[in-house]
Amino acid sequence: MQDNVSKIKDRLDVVEVIGSYMKLQKAGINYKGRCPFHNEKTPSFFVSPERQIWHCFGCAKGGDMFEFVKEIEGVEFPEAMKTLAARAGVQLETFTREASLQRDAKTRLYEVCELATKFFKKQFESTTGKKTLQYLRDRGMADETIKEFRLGFAPKDWESLAGYLRTCGYADQEIVDAGMAIRSEKKQGIYDRFRSRIMFPITDISGQVVGFSGRVFALAAEVSAKEASGSQNLQTQPVDKGVDQTDHVVAKYVNTPQTLIYDKSRVLYGLSQAKLDIKKADQCILVEGNMDALMSYQAGVRNVVASSGTALTPHHLRLLQRYTKNLGFCFDTDQAGAMATKRGIGLALAQQFNIKVLAIEDKECKDPADFVQKYGPRWSELVAAAKPVVDYYFDKARLAYNPTKAESGKAVLASVAPFVKRLASNVERSHWISQLAALLRVPEQAVIADLQNIKDDFVVYDNSEGGGRSEQSQSEAPSKLAPDLLNEAILSVVLKNPAVARESGIPHDLLDARTSAVIRHISDRNEPFEFSALISSFPETAMHLEFANLRAQELWNELDEEELAFEFRRLLNMARKRALTTRLVALQFDLKEAEANQQRERVATLAAEFNDIARQLTIINRHGEEKNEEATKKAGGGQETETIRQPTAKESSQAG
């Protein structure tokens, strides 16, 4: 296994591996980008081609290329190994039996899906197949689109696909496992899941077919004829039911169920085709239906994906986050679509996406597919004219507002406030507060008060899928400092210039054991150290050292000795303050306990210690402020005392 790891590392470059998932830009000797694992505006995610590692100064994540793939794909080591081995062209023979069996099972399912795709495509040549093809053309779909997205037709038979797959050598169980057939309850055997349907193959990010979405054909023709009736539906809810010739009630859409290779909450329709365009445009247009995505693609707006009738999940958004932070929502124009849009926006705002909303105003068009069919290339104008999310909801509320009714004013606030509340920018927030005040003819203070009280009804998503992180903790870079980050920062100064550390004195009691050991090692020798030699002296903490080294390269490079010394003292102060605060909290508990037990002597001792520590904290705080002012004068810019230095926008632009 170890051998494979080094083989892969020899053949691949960490910058290329990471660059295929996210945007990286050269910054001096390293590369940087916005961290895909926490939300930030200024890049604090760095990749070192020299050391072949990556590290985020904001959330402390980091490691080698394997760690990155594990983290971003949400997989364990063997899967990451497989992904990277395939990329590097390294053959893996040392897989455990179980893993290789599972790999075989998956491979077989991929094969089944691929064969089914070809089978469905071939059916376009049949009599009914030709009609479906004509139907698609009538809806405005070009033959190239049909070909590129590999659409097909599932015949109205119970065993045509299953029969075909059997002749290709696949067992019934495999056909069922791939989601292509269903076990019959009445008689022995299996029958085709998709019958008389237009088939949309669903691919994973690498373009392999993993499942299908099947749109019923007979009904499709009916619906198309009845479109003027205005009764629309969301694909998620198969409310739009028709009756096939055997009197079975059929759903408009049938999708592959969860299989070993398909999980609808993690796959977005069209992403494998659109991903590069999304990166290029730095925006992704989100639509509901597969047809919408295809028609948009065809009309030249290729940075488009469909949620394919499923509700948007945090996984979907994390997937998109690899390519862009900008989303444009264009869901169906019906009530269900409006609900889905609002819900999706709530979810995306929580993950700090910048959101725009595309509004289809033509009443005859219920979705983007209709719009493209009617207006063609004007679709791209509509996309370009998308409004930022608050503008969109504000305009809607303004049009519906009736000043003679108090209830109407409340409705305006209720529909706009949740979005205004979530705005990261104070300037923007106050802009909307004054807009609302002007519209409702009330003082801004009243709007502010209402904003605080308004019930936030639109974040109705399941947090458990987001890896258990609360919405709040997702919203910004971690403000509470993880111990390893502070220790890492202190170590990074020592790596940059051991002399600075030696002069300031190093309070080892404030450091964690591994940091302390390394700093002792360096400062005990009065000679310049070799980084690679240091790494080999501390094999267990190698990655900790790598991270500190990267931090030293990125943050301390432009600082002269005096500024570095100042930064070092500031970091030590933070460490001291943290230790004192921790002790203070513990003392509060002890004091309460002692008081409750009426231990007067203990109360007195604890209170004395409490006061002493509180006094020390006051001194540190005051000291910090003074030092800070001093530094502000010198450096021509201030740093907040409470944060570990991060790359600033100025440095970023200089470096890039």
In the complex, least distance from residue 469 CB atom to Zn ion, rounded to whole angstroms: 13
Closest separation in Å from C-beta 63 to Zn ion: 12
Alpha-carbon 479 to chain mean position: 20
CB of 32 to Zn ion, least distance (A): 12
Total residues in contact with Zn ion, by rule CB under 5 A: 6
Minimal distance, residue 55 CB to Zn ion, in Å: 9
Nearest distance in Å: CB 495, Zn ion = 21
Instruction: Provide, rounded to whole angstroms, the least separation between the CB of residue 58 and Zn ion.
Output: 4
Interface mask (CB under 5 A) for Zn ion, residues 393-412, using x and -? --------------------
CB of 66 to Zn ion, least distance (A): 18
Q: Among the residues of 89-234, which ranges form H helices? A: 97-122, 127-138, 143-148, 160-167, 172-177, 217-225
Handedness of CA 116, 121, 127, 132 (dihedral sign): positive
Our CB check for Zn ion shows the closer of 39 and 259 to be 39
How far is it, in rounded angstroms, from Cα 556 to Cα 489? 10
CB 418 within 8 A of CB 425: no
Nearer to Zn ion, 300 or 467 (CB): 467
Assign 569 to helix, strand or coil.
helix
Residue 54 CB, shortest distance to Zn ion, in Å, is 10
Looking at beta carbons only, is 463 or 474 nearer to Zn ion?
474
Rounded to an integer, what distance in angstroms lies between the CA atom of residue 423 and that of residue 429?
6
- Residue 324: exposure state from Cβ atoms within 10 A (0-12, 13-18, ≥19): buried
DSSP collapsed to 3 states, 66-89: HHHHHHHHCCCHHHHHHHHHHHHC
Minimum CB distance to Zn ion smaller for 38 or for 645: 38
CB-wise, 7 or 61, nearer to Zn ion? Answer: 61
Which residues does 219 contact at the CB level (< 8 Å), separation at least 6?
Answer: 240, 242, 250, 252
Q: Is 165:116 a contact under the CB 8 Å cutoff?
A: yes
CB of 35 or CB of 511, closer to Zn ion: 35
From CA 370, how far away is CA 134, in angstroms rounded? 17
Place of tokens 């019958």: 195
Question: Residues 438 to 477: which contact Zn ion by CB under 5 A?
Answer: none
Q: Which is nearer to Zn ion, 37 or 401 (CB)?
A: 37
At which residue do the structure tokens 């970091």 appear?
571
Token representation of residue 362: 């033509």
The contact mask relative to Zn ion for 16-45 (x = CB under 5 A, - = no) is -------------------x-xx-------
How far, rounded to the nearest angstrom, does the alpha carbon of residue 628 sit from its chain's CA centroid?
A: 37
Q: Are 446 and 437 in contact (CB under 8 A)?
A: yes
Give whichever of 58 and 129 is closer to Zn ion, judged by the CB atom.
Answer: 58
Which of these ranges, 49-57, 86-94, 106-114, 467-475, lies near Zn ion under the rule CB under 5 A? 49-57
**Applying CB under 5 A, which of residues 12, 22, 56, 151 lies at the interface with Zn ion?**
56
Please state, in angstroms and rounded to a whole number, the distance separating the CA atoms of residues 93 and 83. Answer: 14
User: What is the rounded CA–CA span in Å between residue 132 and residue 500?
Assistant: 76
Shortest Cβ distance from residue 352 to Zn ion (Å)?
12
* Contacting range for Zn ion; rule: CB under 5 A; set: 48-56, 349-357, 359-367, 505-513: 48-56
Closer to Zn ion by CB, 23 or 569: give it. 23
Report the nearest approach of Zn ion to the CB of residue 349 (Å): 19
Q: Does 59 bind Zn ion (CB under 5 A)?
A: yes
Is there binding between residue 62 and Zn ion (CB under 5 A)?
no
* Span interacting with Zn ion, options 56-64, 523-531, 552-560, 627-635, rule CB under 5 A: 56-64
Smaller CB separation from Zn ion, 56 or 291: 56
Q: What separation in angstroms does the CA of 131 have from each of 136, 158, 370, 387?
A: 9, 20, 20, 40
- Minimal distance, residue 36 CB to Zn ion, in Å: 8
Q: Is the CB of 58 or the CB of 214 nearer to Zn ion?
A: 58
Cβ atoms < 10 Å from Cβ of 2: 7
Which residues within the stretch 477-536 sit at the binding site for Zn ion (CB under 5 A)?
none
Q: How far apart are CA 187 and CA 173, in angstroms?
A: 15
Distance of closest approach, residue 571 Cβ to Zn ion, in angstroms: 20
The C-alpha angle 514, 515, 517, rounded to 5 degrees, equals: 65
Residue 501 CB neighbours (<10 A): 22
* Position among 33, 58, 211, 466 found at the interface with Zn ion (CB under 5 A): 58
> Closer CB to Zn ion, residue 58 or residue 368?
58
Please tell me whether residue 644 binds Zn ion under the rule CB under 5 A. no
List of residues contacting Zn ion (CB under 5 A): 35, 37-38, 56, 58-59
